[in-house]
Structure 1
Amino acid sequence: MMSSHAGAAFKIGKAGRFHPPDGQELDMAVPAASRPDIGSSMLARAALILYSFNTSTPELSLMDVVRRTGLPRSSVHRILDQLVQLKGLERTGAKYRLGLRLIELGALATHQNWLRDASLPYLHHLHSSTGALVHLSILDGHEIVYLEKIGGSPDNRIPSRLGGRQPAYCTSAGKAMLSFADEDELDEILKAGLPARTPFTITDPHAFRRELAQIRERGVAFDREENYRGIVCVAAPLRDATGRAIAAISLAGAPSRIKLQALIPPLLVTARQTRHALFVPGHRGPVPPAEPPRPDRAGQVWSGPRMR
């Protein structure tokens, strides 16, 4: 399918690929056995309409969109109206432009990429110096979302993946962020309940508030088999200039393999270095982190940095 205005229109190839006017290809191919007729799907048409907006023409009229997409005028009008209702687009007079919801999603994607990219060298160093599984997480409502995962469990018992979600109230990363959350956010978590995931899950709201207060005092949060049996974690929040926790770095493993207390010093060093990379004015991005102190052979006493 292609507009008669071939120089300006999108087209959709047989393989399910979008071809924008600037020649960039956006591959949306799926296995042939399950491939829908993307050229006639509502989602494909809505995507064509959204892709017709760019920095040089941020506002378009109905007929501008029709010409750029090659779609029927009636279809474009209907989809534009639906996108306005969903806050994907805004309408001012006869012109349309990207809406607040899309701007928020774009900002979220940029923020997450920036956060992950700035943190990555420090996360890798933390993993190499401790041997524990490292996660970078953010809070999304009542759940945490994993932005990065480095390392793995030898017995594959840690059920985490990039983009995966876990309840915030029973994970170390979630509690680390919730300890600096607004009171309204915390109230919403407690209203939803704290169902037991294991016999060690904190289910009493008063006990949970006491736990968050302790986290604020010591600077780290623990998950002592509260989310999954046989998995323990320790996490430190990443706080912005306002004191709000925008993310958390955590270390996880089996209780027989890691000692949580021994992991606190390198975790706090990593959190401090990452925060510096993210928020210190004039900092131009991550630099190779200084080597943090290492545990002694027993893995329990922190003996300071290794001498070279």
Structure 2
Amino acid sequence: MTSALRLSSRSSEVDGPASPPSMMERVTLIMDLFDRPQTHLTLESVSRRTHLPRSTTHRILDQLVRLDWLRHTVAGYTLGSRALGLGGREIGHSALRAAAAPHLLDLAVRTRMVVHLAVLDGPEIYYLDKVGGRAAVDIPSKVGGRAIAHCTGLGKAMLAWLSPEEIDTRYAQLIERRTQHSIGHLGQLHRELGLVRRRGGLAIDRGECFPELGCVGLALRGPAGPVGAISVVGDGRSSLELVAPLVVGAVRAVSEELFGLPESYRRDVSDVLG
């Protein structure tokens, strides 16, 4: 499509000067670069690859951000909520599930426990996968189901890497509780997320979502923040911390396959592993 658009920018007269692409063609040239939900590009990269002037590129990118077709993050420009709403979200979920699948199975076999893969969706988590054989029947979660994020290890693992301001916008002062052990107010949530960060991202839930069950989770972190999380679920009275190194290993393998492994992530997981 990109080459066709470049050809269309030429004058219909063979010997005449080339005319600049229309605005619609320029926007299409730019959006074509974001072929995956995880793609992040800088202004300079977009300008170079589309052969558009830097000033023109910046102006179009700024308009696309204001209209939510793109987002501007510390890692560069990436698809925004409007683009993801057209199907990019499901494409991203499929890629995440495919990359994680063998590692989830290995983790379930090695721990003999139930393993979850989930993504963050507002104040909730959305389960993408669940592995655990017969044991999975006893865990009241399902693929395609949802749970309150701050009541789960999966959710807390992802929320910990959002800014305090973003946490404030996701939650009201009164926070919904699932059990008597659930976090009940915003201040308590901020303290818990601080503890998760001090543990290198490791989040633990003991009876906060489902009575008598517990889990240990860790986020999958891309260039712009958490894109998902993996957890192992078991008896809330058991020493869940013992399986933490296996969870870290699975998350590390999936993250490296999807994004490479940034140095900051290496330091965080080395803190968890001790």
* TM-score in terms of structure 1 length: 0.55
Counterpart pick for 2:93 among 109, 112, 120:
112
Q: Does 1:202 align with 2:183?
A: yes
| Offset, 1:142 | 1.0
Q: How many residues align?
A: 182
Counterpart position of 2:211:
229
Counterpart position of 1:190:
171
| Offset, 1:192 | 6.2
Aligned pairs for 1:9-28 (under 5 A) are none
Q: Which one-letter code corresponds to 2:222 in the other structure?
A: D
Change beyond 3 A, Cα 1:266–1:189: same
Task: Report if the CA contact (8 A) 1:197-1:228 is conserved.
Answer: yes
Task: Report if the CA contact (8 A) 2:230-2:251 is conserved.
Answer: yes
Moved more, 154-163 or 221-230: 154-163
Q: Any gaps of 5 or more consecutive residues in structure 1?
A: 1-86, 88-99, 282-301, 303-308
1:188 match: secondary structure: helix
Q: Which one-letter code corresponds to 1:277 in the other structure?
A: E
Task: Report if the CA contact (8 A) 1:133-1:153 is conserved.
Answer: no
Counterpart position of 1:11:
none
Counterpart pick for 1:245 among 207, 226, 229:
226
Counterpart pick for 1:272 among 248, 252, 264:
252
1:191 match: secondary structure: coil
Question: What's the CA shift string for 1:149-186, capped at 9, x where partnerless?
Answer: 00156484421111100000111101111111233431
| Offset, 1:103 | 5.7
* TM-score in terms of structure 2 length: 0.61
Counterpart position of 2:78:
none
Question: What's the CA shift string for 1:92-125, capped at 9, x where partnerless?
Answer: xxxxxxxx84663321111110011011111111
Q: Which one-letter code corresponds to 1:108 in the other structure?
A: R
Counterpart pick for 1:263 among 230, 237, 243:
243
Counterpart pick for 2:118 among 137, 147, 150:
137
1:232 match: secondary structure: strand
Counterpart position of 2:152:
171
Give, in whole Å, the separation in 1 of the partners of 2:100 and 2:137. 24
2:128 match: secondary structure: strand
Percent of pairs identical after alignment?
A: 36
Note the aligned Cα RMSD (angstroms).
2.3
Counterpart pick for 2:143 among 162, 168, 192:
162
